[in-house]
Amino acid sequence: MSDLAAPNIHALVAYLGGDEHHRVVEEMLINVEGMTDAERREVSDDIAERAASIRQSLLDLIIEDDISEAMLVLPFIWLEKRFEWMRLNAQMQYQTVFQGTAQPALMARGAALSFLLSVFEQYLTPETAFFVTKIAADPLAVARAEMMRNERLFETLEAASRGGRGAVDAIMKASETVARISEDERIFAALADASATVTEEVGRNLQISLNDFYIAVEADLSPLLADSPVHITLEPLHGDAAASFPAAVARGVRNLLRKYLRMQVQSVGSASERLRTGRKANLSLALSAEVLRDEFSLVLTDDGDGEREFVLTPPEATLREMHVTHERTAGVGSRLTVRCGIRSVQEYLIVRVGEVAHDDAIAIQLSAVERMLHAGPDTLSAHGRALRTTEEDDGVIPIVDLGQQLFDAKVIPDDGVYVIVRIEDGASFRRLALRVRELDGVSRGQVRYVPDHAQTESLRGFLMDRRKLVGVLDIERLAA
């Protein structure tokens, strides 16, 4: 065994291709009493075939001097043999208890596997050897411990998030008190800006990674499996596992998924029913998630019955902006899509709409605004329903008169200002020209969202601007 002293994968390949391991196994078998020659040959040939198969696997994974993939597979090889050895060891113990002794061939096979394990173990790094030994000792406990640690992480972040919201509420109450005492707008503006800063910092620092969120979904699914008539598999996460998003958003989406997963488990048919309809016996779930700019999005697909509809009702709705769609195809499966804004504090363009005598302010998310312009008759087309542009991609932009849309008070085209907004739709986008009476500056703050079921056709929430509540325009609903 002196040729194994240096932990080099090439040395392991060479050793498995030589006769040394075969000679060691042969000597072990000779010393096992009660075995027939045929049993010795069977065990010896089996170990030799295993060694040759593992050697070929490693050779296929070594490309020139790149051994990285082979080193990644080595822990799997060790675990594979360790689990088999554990099975044989348990079998030997029970044979000894109930029969007085274990079968010689069984003991010989276990000893030979133990020898192979000792060979492979020399090529594991100390850290890898530590972890695979821990996994092998009790794999279920290791998996559950990860979920429990993740649950504690969620609980800690949720408590911190509640504390942060409490601090923001305290600042807002102080702002209101000062506003009642003092008429100085500068003081009120400074306090409002401080509350926005605290809110933003809390959201930025209390983040959950997509990997931690995925583990939380696993933890929510696992207790439901006891009532499932079939096995359920959750595929590995599709997305950047290291990407993170606010814990407050994660909590709301997780609450939603808990109810959805419960519905899916309760509605899944038996294995025989699934096989009759041409599907696999087991139910498969696939979760993909991503964090792009100011939005978190999630898609959960399944190959269930596709018949039950998931309805977002008030107890299940989150107060944070959340868009949920559930698509179903009977006998094929369903697709749940969740989108949610993740920036708690944003900048908004404040515009004035409606008649001068009954003027109203509306907020438009500034990040969606491309430009603002005055337009004369020469730039209007299609009887004033579109705006001519020099853009090569569309040529004209549809016009929405916000005064007429929201308050049935049309803005006079010649007097209006056009706010060009860009609406993202996956990889594509479209534009709208929003006609308003005038612009009234920019406000920075946190929107108080209302749930989907309570939103109006055009507003998604409210913003506090200079001591007044201002409706926040839902551009996507407006454009639908």
For residue 393, the model assigns a pLDDT of 46
pLDDT band, residue 56 (cuts 50/70/90): very high
Beta strands 396-401; 428-436: pairing state: parallel
pLDDT of residue 327: 92
Assigned token pair, 375? 């337009």
Best-predicted range by mean pLDDT (101-105, 155-159, 194-198): 101-105
User: Quick check: 6 pLDDT over 50?
Assistant: no
The residue with greater pLDDT, 15 or 278, is: 15
Residue 78 — very low, low, confident or very high, per pLDDT cuts 50/70/90?
very high
Q: Which residue has the tokens 């990889």?
A: 427
The whole-number pLDDT of residue 93 equals 93
Mean pLDDT of 327-351: 85
Give residue 377's pLDDT: 60
116 versus 292: the higher-pLDDT residue is 116
pLDDT of amino acid 4: 37
The chain-wide mean pLDDT, for the chain, equals 81
> Does 19 or 342 have the greater pLDDT score?
19
435 contacts 385 by C-beta, under 8 angstroms: no
Q: Is 203 a residue whose pLDDT tops 70?
A: no
% of the chain at pLDDT higher than 70: 80
Every domain of the chain and the residues it spans? 2-137, 225-241+259-344, 346-479
Distance CA 419, CA 400 (A): 10
Q: How far is CA 463 from CA 101, 278, 314, 477, in A?
A: 79, 52, 22, 18
Q: Regarding the domain with residue range 225-241+259-344, which homologous superfamily does it belong to in the CATH classification?
A: Histidine kinase-like ATPase, C-terminal domain (3.30.565.10)
User: Which residues, in sequence order, are bridge partners of residue 472?
Assistant: 363, 461
Q: Work out the number of other CB atoms within 10 angstroms of the CB of residue 59.
A: 12
What is the rounded distance in angstroms from the CA atom of residue 456 to the CA atom of residue 88? 66
Overall average pLDDT of the 422-447 stretch? 80
Q: How far apart are CA 462 and CA 330, in angstroms?
A: 39
Q: Flag the least confident range among 29-33, 51-55, 378-382.
A: 378-382
Torsion of CA 372, 377, 379, 380, to 10 degrees: 90
> d(Cα 381, Cα 104) in Å, to the nearest integer?
93
Chain position carrying tokens 């534009």: 431
Paired sense of beta strands 468-473 and 360-365, if any: parallel
CA–CA distance, 301 with 57 (Å, rounded to integer): 34
- pLDDT band for position 188 (cuts 50, 70, 90): low
Residue of 286, 252, 177 whose CA lies nearest to 452: 252
Q: Are strands 459-465 and 468-473 parallel, antiparallel or unpaired?
A: antiparallel
pLDDT of the residue at 270: 87
- Residue 422 and residue 370 in contact, taking contact as beta carbons nearer than 8 Å: yes
More confident residue, 474 or 218: 218
Residues 133-159 pLDDT 10s: 988 988 888 888 888 888 888 888 777
Separation between Cα atoms, residue 426 and residue 420, nearest integer Å = 19
pLDDT at 477 over 90: no
What mean pLDDT is predicted for residues 419-446?
Answer: 81
Tell me what pLDDT residue 411 has. Answer: 80
- Strand 295-302 versus strand 333-341 pairing type: antiparallel
Please compute Rg for the chain using Cα positions. Answer: 33
pLDDT, residue 382, reads 46
User: Is 162's pLDDT higher than 70?
Assistant: yes
Phi, psi angles (nearest 5°) of residue 409: -130, 90
| pLDDT tens readout for residues 380-419 | 664 556 776 655 445 678 888 888 888 877 887 767 788 9
Checking if the pLDDT of 5 tops 60, the result is no
Spatial CA neighbour of 161 closest among 251, 244, 292 = 251
Given a cut of 50, is residue 318 above it in pLDDT?
A: no
Answer with the residue of higher pLDDT: 440 or 446.
440
Query: Is the pLDDT confidence value at 463 over 50?
Result: yes
The pLDDT-based confidence of 429 (bands split at 50, 70, 90) is: confident
Q: How many CA atoms lie within 13 A of 98 on its CB side?
A: 6
Has residue 261 got a pLDDT over 90? yes
pLDDT, mean of residues 472-480: 77
Question: How confident is the model over 282-286, as a mean pLDDT?
Answer: 92
CA 420 to CA 423: how far, in whole Å?
Answer: 10
**For 210-258, how does the pLDDT look when each residue is reduced to its tens digit (9 = 90+)?**
999 999 999 999 889 888 889 998 999 998 988 988 888 888 899 899 9
**Best-predicted range by mean pLDDT (14-18, 186-190, 384-388):** 14-18
- Say which range, 59-73, 77-91, 394-408, has the weakest mean pLDDT: 394-408
